[in-house]
Every structure is written in structure tokens, then in C-alpha cells.
């Protein structure tokens, strides 16, 4: 399978518009990786990631935590943003400066200047973990884009349309790649195929995704 089959432009272009309003910035986070990984460790220490329950009673294969004013939580009662971490009953760790700076830079390069996220969802994928197709639609203001940063092992990311059954393109997202979507594709369905095993020099046997949103 050639993962780049669906890409209209050369796969390694630094900036690729993969769909209207959706821009892939290859390797953008690499120059920030030292600060990002140090900050990530701080967040994980303060707010350890867990396998969340879905409202339907399933256990998610990814482990999740958050930082910023709002964190995304899921349990038997539904999906929502919360100002406190249900595991610790304390506020989420603050959004690290390195995270906020990268998110704003990526959004600006993708055509969304002035992005100030108030929520960062941290998803950790071990080999085999996946994320089924879904829309990010729990945010109050859909004018702000989604900024998604990939770290560690590469994944196959599915980027679809506004209907669940629309065709999806498959993008290989590697360490440091940043995908931004908004405007006409803000509510695009997206997901991650089961993570292939491997070893990343900085993160070992895992992939970490940081998703920045303006939720409140
Ligand atoms: C998500 O949609 O919440 C995660 C996407 C990803 O891991 O790349
Ligand atoms: Fe998502």
C-alpha cells in the first residue's frame, strides 16, 4: 500500500494543502522537540494519562490526558470539556509555553492567524492502539482550527469528509509533523489506524499526539 497515493502534491513538501482549509506542515515541530518533550514529561507527571471509557461502555485503546484551561474527558455520561481532571480533582496542568507557541505558529502557517488554544488533548498510542473515525465537535466556537502535532512513532492518519462514509485519504504522520484543519474542513471526520510496532529514538515504542483546540 502506498500511503501517499491520495496526496495531490509531493509528499515531502514542507507545506501541503491536503483538503480545503487543511494543511500538513511536515516536520514543523522538530525544531521545538527538546522543549516539547520536556514539557510533555511535566504534564504527564502532573496528570497521568488513562484509558478513558466511552459513553457506550468501551475502553479507549489510547491513553489520554490534557493540559490547558480545559481538558477533554469521556466517561459513561458522555464526552465533554472540564476545567478539572476527574482523576485528581484538580485543575489540569497549565499549557506549556512551548506548546502554545508551536500551536500558534502552525495555525498561522496554515492560514489561521491569532490562534490561542485553551485545551490540549494528549493521546498516547502504544502499538495496536487506534482512534476510530470521529469529528471534533464538542468545541463552542468552530471558527478556530484544530492543530494536531505528531511525536514519536509514525501513524497512518485518516482524513475524511463531512460525512462518516465519505472517502478518506491516508496520510503518514511522522515525528514532528503538524496537521491543521479548519474552515471548510473543520468538522472533517478523522481517525488513526492501529499503530504499527517500532522504536522511536526519543519516545520508544509509542506515538504521542497533541491536539490543540479552542474549546471554551
Ligand atoms: C484525535 O483525533 O483526537 C487524535 C488524532 C491523532 O492522534 O492524530
Ligand atoms: Fe479528533
Which domains occur in the chain, in start order?
Answer: 15-213 (2.60.120.590)
Whole-structure pTM value: 0.94
Ligand closest to Cα of 209 equals 1
Grid look-up 496554515 returns: 110
Tell which atom from ligand 1 comes closest to the C-alpha of 62. Answer: 7
Contacts for 207 with CB less than 8 Å, ≥ 6 apart: 124, 125, 150, 151, 152, 153, 154, 155, 195, 200
Tell which atom from ligand 1 comes closest to the C-alpha of 123. Answer: 7
Residues with CB under 5 A from ligand 2 (ion): 136
Which residue, judged by its Cα, is nearest atom 7 of ligand 1?
209
Contacts for 45 with CB less than 8 Å, ≥ 6 apart: none
Could you give the strand order of the β-sheet that contains 190-192, starting from the edge strand earlier in sequence? 131-134, 190-192, 155-159, 169-173
- Ligand 1 pocket, CB under 6 A: 121, 123, 131, 148, 157, 190, 192, 209, 211
User: Do residues 26 and 12 lie in contact, with contact meaning Cβ atoms separated by under 8 Å?
Assistant: yes
CA angle 200, 203, 208 (to 5 degrees): 105
Per-residue pLDDT tens, the chain, 216 aa: give them. 445 445 444 445 699 999 999 999 999 999 999 999 999 999 999 999 999 999 999 999 999 999 999 999 999 999 999 999 999 999 999 999 999 999 999 999 999 999 999 999 999 999 999 999 999 999 998 999 999 999 999 999 999 999 999 999 999 999 999 999 999 999 999 999 999 999 999 999 999 999 999 999
Amino acid at each position: 500500500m502506498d500511503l501517499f497515493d491520495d496526496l495531490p502534491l509531493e509528499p515531502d513538501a514542507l507545506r501541503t494543502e491536503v483538503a480545503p482549509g487543511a494543511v500538513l506542515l511536515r516536520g514543523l515541530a522538530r525544531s521545538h522537540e527538546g522543549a516539547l518533550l520536556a514539557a510533555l514529561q511535566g504534564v504527564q507527571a502532573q496528570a497521568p494519562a488513562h484509558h478513558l471509557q466511552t459513553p457506550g461502555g468501551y475502553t479507549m485503546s489510547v491513553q489520554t490526558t490534557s493540559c490547558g484551561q480545559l481538558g477533554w474527558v469521556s466517561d459513561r455520561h458522555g464526552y465533554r470539556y472540564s476545567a478539572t481532571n476527574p482523576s485528581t480533582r484538580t485543575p489540569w496542568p497549565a499549557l506549556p509555553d512551548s506548546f502554545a507557541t508551536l500551536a500558534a505558529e502552525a495555525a498561522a502557517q496554515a492560514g489561521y492567524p491569532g490562534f490561542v488554544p485553551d485545551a490540549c488533548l494528549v493521546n498516547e498510542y502504544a502499538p495496536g492502539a487506534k482512534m476510530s473515525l470521529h469529528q471534533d465537535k464538542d468545541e463552542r466556537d468552530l471558527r478556530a482550527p484544530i492543530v494536531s502535532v505528531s511525536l514519536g512513532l509514525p501513524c497512518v492518519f485518516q482524513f475524511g469528509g463531512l460525512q462518516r462514509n465519505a472517502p478518506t485519504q491516508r496520510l503518514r504522520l511522522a515525528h514532528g509533523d503538524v496537521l491543521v484543519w479548519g474552515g471548510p474542513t473543520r468538522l472533517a471526520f478523522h481517525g488513526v489506524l492501529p499503530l504499527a510496532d517500532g522504536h522511536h529514538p526519543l519516545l520508544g515504542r509509542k506515538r504521542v499526539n497533541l491536539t490543540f483546540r479552542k474549546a471554551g
